[in-house]
Amino acid sequence: MHLFDSTKLGLFSSLSNSSTLMYSVLKTLSWGALSVYLYTLDSGEKRFSFLLRVWWVFYFSISCYCLVVDFLFYHKHESSEVRYLLSDIVSVFSALFLFYVGFLRHETQDSLLEQPFLNVDISSDTSNNPTLESNKSRGGDAVTPYANAGPFSILTFYWMNSLIAFGNKKTLDLEDVPQLDSLDSVFRGFPAFRNKLESHNGAASRVTPFKLAKALFLSAWKEILWTALLAIIYTSASYVGPYLIDAFVQCLDGQGEYKNQGYILASTFFVAKLVECISQRHWFFRLQQIGLRHRAVTTTMIYNKGLTLSNQSKHCQTSGEIINIMTVDADRIGEFCWYMHDPWLILLQVGLALLILYQNLGLASVAAFVTTIVVMLINYPLVRLQETFQDKLMDSKDKRMRATTEILRNMRILKLQGWEIKFLSKILELRDVETGWLKKYVYNSAMIMSVFWLAPTLVAVATFGACMLIGIQLESGKILSALATFRVLQMPIYSLPDTLSMIVQTKVSLDRIASFLCLDDLQPDVLEKQPIGSSDTAIEIADGNFSWDLSSPSAALKDINVRVLHGMRVAVCGTVGSGKSSLLSCVLGELHKISGTLKLCGTKAYVAQSAWISTGKIEENILFGKEMDRERYDRILEACSLKKDLEIMSFGDQTVIGERGINLSGGQKQRIQIARALYQDADIYLFDDPFSAVDAHTGSHLFKEVLLGLLSSKTVIYVTHQVEFLPAADLLLVMKDGNITQAGKYDDILCLGSDFMELVGAREAALTVLDSKQKGPASDTDGIMQKQGKNDYENGKSDKVAEPKAQIIQEEERETGSVENGKSDKVAEPKAQIIQEEERETGSVGFPIYWNYITTAYGGGLVPFILLAQILFQVLQISSNYWMAWAAPVSKDVKPVVSGSTLIIVYVLFAIGSSLCILARATLHATAGYKTATLLFNKMPLCIFRAPMSFFDATPSGRIINRVSTDQSAVETRIPYLIGALAFSVIQLLGIIAVMSQVAWQVFIVFIPVIAACIWYQRYYISSARELSRLVGVCKAPVIQHFSETISGATTIRSFDQQSRFQETNMEVTDAYSRPKFHIAGAREWLCFRLDMFSSVTFAFSLAFLVSFRSNIDPAIAGLAVTYGLNLNMLQASVIWNLCDCENKIISVERIIQYISIPSEPSLVVEANRPGRSWPSHGEVDINNLQVRYAPQLPLVLRGITCTFAGGKKTGIVGRTGSGKSTLIQTLFCIVKPAAGQIMIDRLDISSIGLHDLRSRLGIIPQDPTMFEGTIRSNLDPLEEHTDEQIWEALDKCQLGDEVRKKERKLDSTVNENGENWSMGQRQLVCLWRVLLKKSKVLVLDEATASVDTSTDNLIQQTLRQHFSDSTIAHRITSVLDSDMVLLLSHGLVMEYDSPTRLLENKSSSFAQLVAEYIIRSNAT
């Protein structure tokens, strides 16, 4: 026998020595060959050579062989050195990695090995890199590899390899991200969802939250059931470990039932862990996939509803609230898919846990069940509170978003009036209410979290206490099985607060979405559409009574009877608020029909009074979905006087228009609207006073070329205040108080007198003044020309001006060309579009972002205490489990170390300590998260409000709304949770490593390469994941932006019957947002799958060590290590997952900090240079060589203006649309910073004083009249500086007193969002009222009477003469003639500047030509 042992020992020794020598030689050769090969490898080579891959297989085989031999030798002879084992383990992992690279990844050129080892220069220029270039084009057009992936690729998430590898080589852009599979696209998903909803809802039935949830379920029921099956498999596999632990402990104690039971149990543990990991990964991925689909179809449903809302419904739900429903509530529906299985899954997990507990502890499992139920019942009132707080939080968020949206839309007005700080305080007040509810919400969440973190400990105390009372002996194996069961049950119990919270939030969101979907649509039966060509009548209204609001006691239109034949021109006129616009809206089907009939035969096109322009190219706005017909397109541009404007623009008709046409003048926007309508080639055209926004010359040209020219054979209804356009109508309708008081031919109605004579009489009086000023000696030289104009005339251009009138337009075009050539050095420089691609950071999120976030609240002072509380909690948890494993006997035959009471008392003390720690941690964590979110938000609105106007011109409001809604919500709730989860997971993982290494220190050897590999994978993954997350943020803004624009332009979109095209565009931007979201989910699971495999291998090695070296290990402590090891993969993945998720979500903080860092306007107040209280005392304005451009990349708009506006004088500024009139006014208010030159008011340079001091001393009535949601009082006196008597006095002066007195609540009457329940003319009168109280020495009227009739205009001018001496901009010739001086601008240059009388005396002056044309046009009509 001894001889045999000696022989066996010699054989082992010989094998070990030879294998070690062979291993060393082969290892040296292998790595040497690898180094030489990689050094000489061509960067374009796509695959490793066959010989090298064979070598790697051989190396892998030898490494495995050496590991087995050394392991057996070490097992038999414990004195041998462990370094061989360590070396073998590292070699096996390295060889396995090479084997994977060489064979499993040879199909793709983007292997994991290429980037770290190869010195390949990946530059941003892809012109010399065909691989990148082809990838780029492929990414934008090709469908995701997931669509065609095989079973192995889907199982291992191998289909994500190419995108992740590509993201390691360059910064990912949206075109690099593949398209969605058709199953995940909203184009396929939405019709199915809509059919399900309609089939279960019925045509007449209202949408309820239950029906909405049911339709969402049925639209993806197969995928949901598949995820349910995966969840069941995962849950079952996760309980295999706790079920077998007792048997494993008994086996380690030498009480195994059969030979090699330890290895069989270890193999069972390992296989169960693999099944658990794989099922969990695919379960999570499928849930995210379902969530994406649900979010997309919900968003689309909300968008489509927004297109059909009636006017009354819009008053119930403002655009800000609707946007909030789309951004927050639809997202929450998608997020809930993560939690959809949790409620029933927790029941399954609890049931399995009770079965295992009953097997080990008998009736004591009843105590565990009762305790679990009690804990859940305790949580019920907290969940009810959570629902209430969530409701209130969302309501307050809605109000803030509504105000924010309105303010962003009207930021220019706020800055011109100097009101931005007042409205900022309004936002902050709303935010204070919101943060009050947020505070209650987060602290209530902390309480729920505390209860459930402690739940497993409470259940364990109750269970073990019951065992002692019943008399069941506690053995270490049974205790460890119970503890393992509690630990597996711990995660669903931990997640239960989140699940309950999400259920509550989702219920609130479903309620809000269902309520929105139940809002009234436009009446489908208002319009009775007849087939084209079936009748000679285009429009017929019989006994029509219509209302904007059915609850209103009076109708907007009463007893309307109109019949319009095909080809007729119908003019509509009347005073402000008479119902003209309502009549056109009625024809469009926008009003509720109370009674009567409305028939329409033919297609229609509509030009709104307030121009609606969508963000995009000018060409796209004109075509509006139609195919390009170049000849017709050019003819329309000519008719709309747009060609000259496009020639001036750097990109012509390819110029990108900013949000709400921010980079266009009012006249340009209106003419683009007209061109859009003309290009549709409709049968019926509706024009709502389109000529009010353009100058007299352009208005005359448009009327002649458009209404009398291109539309001569069409049916046209046009509303106008210009009396001179009325005689051309076949039918004239005069309106008053919603009634058609007169109808007929112009001459017939003129003979009848009455209401129509008020309008005509005012116009005749104005023409009389013109005629008197026109008569007088003609002089060619008396006009005083300023520098630019004078030089032009001296250079031989005066003869051109004196040519016949038919030549004037042509000569102006030639003069424009010469001016442009003369300034070519300034204008021909490289330009860029005003709307730039949204800024996003690239590369890793810098440490300063994390540091900024962590230290925002209390300088980071709470962080150490939060970490300390969690560390103490973890130490106490491990100590309590260690105590139970050590103190309890391994079997019935072993005498207990301590008594049963001592065992339980010590465990209870540990539990009490854990409870205190977790309560402290939850409270401090909630405090830090809440305070940080509050402080970050408080900085952001101030920075946004103080940003220069150029920022708002170049930034669509959707981007800003995205920051203050989506990103802010992430900072409030998601990011604190993620950062906390990361820190807590790291602490737990370190605890597990400590426990497992303490039992068998050799396990620590395995942890080192595994953790290194995990970190390497995380770094490899994060570059792609980070950019995908940034793309999600960038792609969300267009969804919000498109929706916001659609809501504001819904009437125009419906009038052109373009709903389907806009719905398709919405689905396209929704899919564009889903693309990076889908691939983020795939990338995350790609990483987690690989991390799970590593942790499973680690766990398998640990089990092998424990089984192999059980003679020197305490079975109970070894069982404890296995208990903790069962959670190893979950925690290891959790650390990496939370780390990646944290870096992805922290981008929200990065984006908020971007806006906190926006460059600010100059100071509101300059203390060292504050003007006196009486400034400006005279109102003299000196302008010297003023040059202005809107952005560094854009051309000059004002090109060296020099002139003086005398104090106490009224100056009229005229010029063609786009000549620079409004830009001059913006510069006067420092909205736009001059590129050169200066403006002095009463000899004080306006750039040297604070903006508030400047703007508060000037008065302005802007081009676009604006009213804010609230009351009449809050609109008239937003700063609350005046008494009711002063308000009523000013209302009477601007002809609004009687209108307000008619309203039930007088000054407290409601004003809807954007003043939509007031006519455009009434809004302009409100703006006039505001300046009447201001009584400024310098008052600017920027086309202030463009939307009122001539009679009202005369009254306004009379009011202004009585109360102001001012500077004014006007389009109406009659208004300008009332001025003391006239300044004529052309293309940013001063052409003429003199008194109206002297300019009229000089028959060659451009102003005289303009007036003469106006008189000829008026007399002709």
Q: How confident is the model at residue 134 (pLDDT cuts 50, 70, 90)?
A: very low
Coil, helix or strand at residue 1172: coil
* Residue 268: pLDDT over 50: yes
Integer-rounded Cα radius of gyration of the chain: 39
* Beta carbons of 557 and 546 less than 8 angstroms apart: yes
Average pLDDT over residues 615-622: 86
* Residue 1090: pLDDT over 70: yes
Check residues 652 and 788 and name the one with the higher pLDDT: 652
Distance CA 133, CA 949 (A): 39
374 Cβ contact list (under 8 Å, min separation 6): none
- Amino acid 1241 reads I
Q: Provide the β-strand partners of residue 565.
A: 537
Sign of torsion over alpha carbons 858, 861, 862, 867: positive
Residue 949 has φ and ψ, to the nearest 5°, of -65, -25
Average pLDDT, the chain: 76
Percent of the chain with pLDDT over 70: 76
Please spell the DSSP secondary structure of 292-350, one letter per residue: HHHHHHHHHHHHHHHHHB-HHHHHHS-HHHHHHIIIIIHHHHHHHGGGTTHHHHHHHHH
Q: Copy the structure tokens of residue 1179.
A: 């109102």
Report the C-alpha dihedral over residues 39, 158, 241, 905, rounded to 10 degrees: 80
* Beta carbons of 1145 and 1028 less than 8 angstroms apart: no
* Residue 1185: pLDDT over 50: yes
What integer pLDDT is reported at residue 990 of this predicted model?
A: 84
Check residues 1007 and 597 and name the one with the higher pLDDT: 597
Three-class HEC string of 117-181? HCCCCCCCCCCCCHHHHHHHHHHHHCECHHHHCCHHHHHHCHHHHHHHHHHHHCCCCHHHCCECC
Task: Say which range, 524-533, 566-575, 1032-1041, 1310-1319, has the weakest mean pLDDT.
Answer: 1310-1319
Distance CA 1143, CA 707 (A): 60
* Strands 1244-1245 and 1236-1241, sheet pairing: antiparallel
Q: CB neighbours (10 Å) of residue 676?
A: 27
* Residue 443: pLDDT over 50: yes
Coil, helix or strand at residue 1200: strand
Q: Provide the β-strand partners of residue 809.
A: none
- Give the chain's end-to-end CA distance (angstroms, integer): 131
Cβ burial 2-35 (10 Å sphere, 16+ → b, else e): eeeeeeeeeebeebbeebbeebeebbeebeeebe
Q: How confident is the model at residue 1021 (pLDDT cuts 50, 70, 90)?
A: confident
Burial class (CB in 10 A: 0-12, 13-18, 19+), 747: exposed
Check residues 196 and 2 and name the one with the higher pLDDT: 196
Q: How confident is the model at residue 7 (pLDDT cuts 50, 70, 90)?
A: very low
What integer pLDDT is reported at residue 1233 of this predicted model?
A: 83
Average pLDDT over residues 1106-1131: 72
Distance CA 512, CA 323 (A): 12
Q: Which of 899, 907, 912 is nearest to 882 (CA)?
A: 907
Q: Which residue has the tokens 């007729």?
A: 568
* Beta carbons of 1381 and 1181 less than 8 angstroms apart: no
* Residue 395: pLDDT over 80: yes
Q: Which of 776, 696, 697 is nearest to 1400 (CA)?
A: 776
* Residue 896: pLDDT over 60: yes
In 1126-1217, alpha helices (H): 1128-1145, 1147-1156
Distance CA 371, CA 456 (A): 10
* Residue 790: pLDDT over 50: no
* Strands 1381-1386 and 1211-1215, sheet pairing: parallel
Identify which of 42-46, 230-234, 394-398 has the greatest average pLDDT: 230-234
Coil, helix or strand at residue 1217: coil
* Residue 926: pLDDT over 80: yes
Task: Say which range, 176-190, 634-648, 1101-1115, has the weakest mean pLDDT.
Answer: 1101-1115
Strand extents, DSSP E, 708-772: 715-719, 731-736, 739-744
* Residue 1244: pLDDT over 80: yes
What integer pLDDT is reported at residue 132 of this predicted model?
A: 32
Distance CA 1133, CA 1155 (A): 34
- Which strands sit side by side in the sheet containing 1367-1369, from one edge to the other? 1367-1369, 1211-1215, 1381-1386, 1389-1394
Residue 560 has φ and ψ, to the nearest 5°, of -85, 125
Q: How confident is the model at residue 30 (pLDDT cuts 50, 70, 90)?
A: low
Q: Which of 1379, 1378, 1356, 1347 is nearest to 1290 (CA)?
A: 1356
* Strands 1181-1189 and 715-719, sheet pairing: unpaired
What integer pLDDT is reported at residue 841 of this predicted model?
A: 46
| Element holding 1328 (H helix, E strand) | helix 1320-1334
831 Cβ contact list (under 8 Å, min separation 6): 650, 651, 1193, 1194, 1195
| Element holding 811 (H helix, E strand) | helix 808-822
* Beta carbons of 448 and 213 less than 8 angstroms apart: no
* Beta carbons of 295 and 330 less than 8 angstroms apart: yes
Distance of alpha carbon 1411 from the chain centroid: 50
Distance CA 1415, CA 771 (A): 8
Q: How confident is the model at residue 1418 (pLDDT cuts 50, 70, 90)?
A: low
* Beta carbons of 1242 and 1176 less than 8 angstroms apart: yes
- Amino acid 882 reads Y
* Strands 739-744 and 1270-1271, sheet pairing: unpaired
Residue 803: DSSP 8-state: S
Burial class (CB in 10 A: 0-12, 13-18, 19+), 781: exposed
821 Cβ contact list (under 8 Å, min separation 6): none
* Beta carbons of 191 and 153 less than 8 angstroms apart: no
What integer pLDDT is reported at residue 226 of this predicted model?
A: 92
What integer pLDDT is reported at residue 408 of this predicted model?
A: 84
Q: Copy the structure tokens of residue 609.
A: 């009074």
- pLDDT digits over 1027-1043, tens only? 888 788 778 878 888 88
* Beta carbons of 784 and 1374 less than 8 angstroms apart: no
Coil, helix or strand at residue 1149: helix
Task: Say which range, 157-166, 807-816, 960-969, has the weakest mean pLDDT.
Answer: 807-816
Coil, helix or strand at residue 1287: helix
Report the C-alpha dihedral over residues 1174, 1180, 1185, 1187, rounded to 10 degrees: 60
Distance CA 548, CA 552 (A): 8
- pLDDT digits over 223-254, tens only? 899 999 999 999 898 888 788 877 777 777 77
What integer pLDDT is reported at residue 692 of this predicted model?
A: 73
Please spell the DSSP secondary structure of 364-409, one letter per residue: HHHHHHHHHHHHHHHHHHHHHHHHHHHHHHHHHHHHHHHHHHHHHH
* Beta carbons of 435 and 934 less than 8 angstroms apart: yes
Q: How far is CA 104 from CA 53, 338, 823, 858, in A?
A: 11, 32, 65, 52
Q: Which residue has the tokens 């049974």?
A: 478
Sign of torsion over alpha carbons 1114, 1120, 1123, 1125: negative
Q: How far is CA 471 from CA 364, 466, 630, in A?
A: 10, 8, 95
Q: How confident is the model at residue 72 (pLDDT cuts 50, 70, 90)?
A: low
Task: Say which range, 497-511, 820-834, 1179-1193, has the weakest mean pLDDT.
Answer: 820-834
What integer pLDDT is reported at residue 112 of this predicted model?
A: 34
